[in-house]
Every structure is written in C-alpha cells, then in structure tokens.
Structure 1
Amino acid sequence: MQAEFWLERWREGRTGFHRDAPMPLLLQHWPALALPRGSRVLVPLCGKTLDMRWLAEQGHRVLGVELSPLAVAQFFAEQGLKPVRHESPLGMRHVAGNIEIIEGDVFALDDATLAGCAAVYDRAAVIALPPPLRTRYAREVYARLPAGCRGLMITLEYPQHEMEGPPFSVDADEVAALFGGHWDLDLLERSDILAAQPAFREGGVTALHTGVYRLQRKPAAAQR
C-alpha cells in the first residue's frame, strides 16, 4: 500500500471513510482512558477527521499525522481555523490552537515526538494498512510510544477473502500478536455492524464486526 494510493484517493475525492461527525465509538469509550486534560494525543493517518476537533474540545493537545496536503488543508478550512505553518524535518507542521497536524509520513516520526504523546487514538490507521505494513506500524510507531501511554483502537473484522481492503480485517488474535508484547489490551466492545453497512453487504461480505480496544503501554520491565 504505497503513499500514492492515498494521495490519489484524496485528489479524486474517493474518501468514503470520512465521517461528517465525530465517531460515536470515540465519544462512548474515550472516557475509559481517564486521560488528564492537556495530554497530547497522537492521531495517525488522521485525514480530516472531526474526531480531532472533538478531542481538542476535551482539553487535549492533538497531534495528527497525514500524508495528503489536501486532507490537511480541508480540515482547517472546514473547521474555520487558520493554522500557523512551518517546515520541519518531519514535514510541514500546521498548528491552530491545541490542534497540530504534521503533513508527512507517520513512519518518519522521531523518538522525541512519540515520547511526548500520552495517548494514541487509532480509528482508521491499523485497518488502513496491509499485513506487512501493520507489522512495521506496530514495531516502528507503537513500540516507540512511552510507558504508560494509553490508547483507543477501533478495528473491523470480516472474512478477508470476501473483500479486498482497505479497510482490512484486523481480528482480536492479530491485535494481540501485533501489540500484546508491549501493551496491555482490553476489548471494550465487539459489535455486529453488517446491517448498517450496505456497501459491505453489496460487496459480498457476509459478516462484519467492529472491535474497540483500550491499550496501555507496559513498563519496560514487563514488555516481551
């Protein structure tokens, strides 16, 4: 899954994954993290999600990372925000209030940036990546977040042979394999959503569930 794939989707407006309201599962389950106000929240592959605005309204400092300059520009324009922009080794940084978006590659984030994140919100990142990149993502992004970091991850589960991703199916066993060595995992909810997803049904998918996981980074001594 090359960067050009996503850049082309944004150029062509093929962004059916974008929601016009904050994700209900975020609103429902974010309080379970008990994250202090002022905490910095990483939102990888953020697109122009309104979830960032909602997180900022909860008093958090939001750090989105997004490859597409169109997505970044549309987010700030649609939210009526005028960001201050400056170049950095990680890419162009756009800052408006307590929302910052780095226009760049999430795999290029440096240790200092990741170490400053107290939480991660992953609605559409892990399910956007094919298997080899999911492994790299867990190893190069999640594994460099600090001990005690908290996370909320939303996944999809369906028979992968019935549809070509993205979004990809990431089931509980894979979540455990990818993240269980470094993170404590708690499945907060698993729900059958096939009836509410006609595009999946029309594509031949016979079962579709969403999973919501709470994560907490283990102390170094407990990691394996």
Structure 2
Amino acid sequence: MEKSFWLEKWQKNEIGFHNREAHPLLVEHFARLDLERGDRLFLPLCGKTLDIGWLLERGYSVAGAELSEMAVIQLFEQLEMEPQVDIIGDLKRYRAPDIDIFVGDIFHLTDEVLGPVAAVYDRAALVALPLEMRSRYAQHLVQVTGSAPQLLITFEYDQEEMPGPPFCVSDGEVAQHYAKAYTLNLLQTVAVEGGLKGKCPAEEKVWLLESK
C-alpha cells in the first residue's frame, strides 16, 4: 500500500476511520497499562485522534507518528495548541507541552529520536497496514519502543467480504507478530455495531501486550 493512498484519504477528507470521541475500549481498559500520571505513551499512525486529548487531559504525555502533515496540523488546531516545528532527519516534529508528533514514514523513526515511552496504544496502525507490511511494522515498533507494553486494538472479519483497510488481523497473527516479546492477553471482544463500514459482520478486539 503506497503512502499516497493515505495522503489522498486525508486530502479528500475521506476519514471515516476518525472517531469523533475517545475510543470506548481505550476508556474501559486503559487502567490495565498501570501507568502513572506523567508517563509517556506512543501512538503510531495517530492521525488526529481524540484519544490524544483524552490522554493529555488525564495528565499523560503523548508521542505519535503520522504520515499526513494535514492530519497533524488539524490535531493541534483541535487541541488549541501552537506547535513548534522542527526537522529531525527525514521527519518533521510538531511539539508542544507534553506532546511530540513525528510527521513522515514511521519506518524512519528511531528509538533515539522517539525517546523513552512507558507504553504503546495502537488503535489504528497494525490494522491499517496490508499483510506484507504488518510483520515489518511490528518488529519496528518493538524495537523503537524497547518492547514497551501495548494496548492493541484489532478487527477480525471475513477479509473476502471487504478488502480493507482496516484489515482483518487474526488472533494467530497477533501471536505471530508479538508472542516472542510479549505475553498476550485478550481483554475483550465486541461486535462492531452495524458491521464494519456497514458492509460485513466484524469483531473488534482489545489486547494487553505485557513485556516478557
């Protein structure tokens, strides 16, 4: 899947994947990460998610990575923050108190540039990537975050009924990507109301990945 696919989605405002409130599964299960106020979370492929505002309001620090600069500009407008912008290698960094968002290809993000994080919240990254990219992404995420614990959200449905994204990521695939680095805990499975994009039945799953 080309970068131009997602950039065009943002350009055309075709962002049905953008929730208009904090994700209910984050709200319900966030405490399982056992974090302290001030701890820093990494949100890969974060877009302009309202989950960031929810985390900031509760006293956490946020780092994110996002391909679309338009999404990041809209994020800071939404947060009513004036970011400082600088260039770090192949990435742009938008920053304000308690928030750093890196704009560009997430595979260009290094652990040195990202800095330490206490946890990862992956709501829309793994499921946004096609099969051939997911293994590379998962390995990269583990490396740049130092195997920080994760709250991961996936979808499971008949991929033949809908091409994605979001893509179907089975329980077995989650294990394939993460079982070496983490103990995997499936916290909840919920049916997607009305089906995924109204097209096919689907389940949304939330996982707690605890560092081994």
Q: Secondary structure at the match of 2:150?
A: strand
When the two chains are superposed, the root-mean-square deviation of aligned CA atoms in Å is 1.5
Structure 2 counterpart of 1:16 = 16
| C-alpha contact (below 8 Å) 2:109/2:144 kept by paired residues | no
Matches of 1:123 and 1:10 in 2, distance apart?
A: 18
Contact 1:151 1:215 in 2 (8 A): yes
1:192 CA displacement = 1.7
* CA apart distance, 1:38: 1.7
**Matched position secondary structure for 1:46:** coil
1:115 and 1:146 in contact (8 A); partners too = no
Structure (1/2) with the larger helix percentage: 1
Q: Tell me the distance in 2 between the aligned counterparts of 1:143 and 1:177.
A: 16
Structure 2: runs of 5 or more not aligned = none
Question: Which residue in the other structure is 1:97 paired with?
Answer: 97
Distance 1:99 1:143 in 2: 21
Partner of 1:215: 209
Which secondary structure state, in structure 1, belongs to the residue aligned with residue 206 of structure 2?
strand
CA contact (8 A) 1:40 1:119 kept: yes
- 1:142 equivalent in structure 2: 142
Partner SS state of residue 9, structure 2: helix
SS of residue in 1 equivalent to 2:190: strand
* CA distance in structure 2 between the aligned counterparts of 1:138 and 1:14, rounded to whole angstroms: 26
Amino acid at match of 2:76: F
Q: 8 Å contact 1:22–1:54 — kept in the other structure?
A: yes
- Kept after mapping to 2: 8 A contact 1:7/1:68: yes
The residue aligned with 2:39 is 39
Aligned 8 A contact 1:90 1:102 in 2:
no
CA apart distance, 1:32 = 0.9
Query: Residue 187 of structure 2 corresponds to which residue in structure 1?
Result: 188
Q: Following the alignment from structure 2 to structure 1, what is the Cα–Cα distance between the partners of residues 102 and 126? A: 18
Q: Is the 8 A contact 2:156 2:170 kept in 1?
A: yes
After superposition, the Cα gap between the structure-2 partners of 1:178 and 1:216, relative to the gap in structure 1 and judged at 3 Å, is same
**Aligned residue number for residue 173 of structure 2:** 174
Partner of 1:159: 158
In structure 2, relative to structure 1, the CA distance for the partners of 1:198 and 1:157 (3 Å cut) is closer
What residue in structure 1 maps to residue 25 of structure 2? 25
User: Unmatched 5+ residue regions in structure 1?
Assistant: 219-224
CA distance in 2, matches of 1:18, 1:57: 19
Query: Residues 198 and 216 of structure 1: is their aligned pair in 2 closer, same or farther, counting only changes over 3 Å?
Result: closer
Q: Matches of residues 50-65 of structure 1 in structure 2 within 5 Å?
A: 50-65=50-65
Distance in 1 (CA, whole Å) between partners of 2:144 and 2:166 is 25
TM-score (norm 2): 0.95
What is the CA deviation profile of residues 80-103 of structure 1, one whole-angstrom value per residue up to 9, with x for unaligned ones? 111111111141111121111111
> Post-superposition shift, 1:13?
0.6
The answer to whether the 8 Å contact 1:188/1:214 transfers is yes
Deviation for aligned residue 1:39: 1.6
Cα distance in 2, alignment partners of residues 150 and 132 from structure 1: 24
Q: Distance in 1 between matches of 2:124 and 2:196?
A: 17
Aligned partner of residue 38 in structure 1, secondary structure = coil
Q: Distance in 2 between matches of 1:113 and 1:24?
A: 31
1:197 partner letter: G
Label 1:191 to 1:170 Cα distance change in 2 as closer, same or farther (>3 A): same
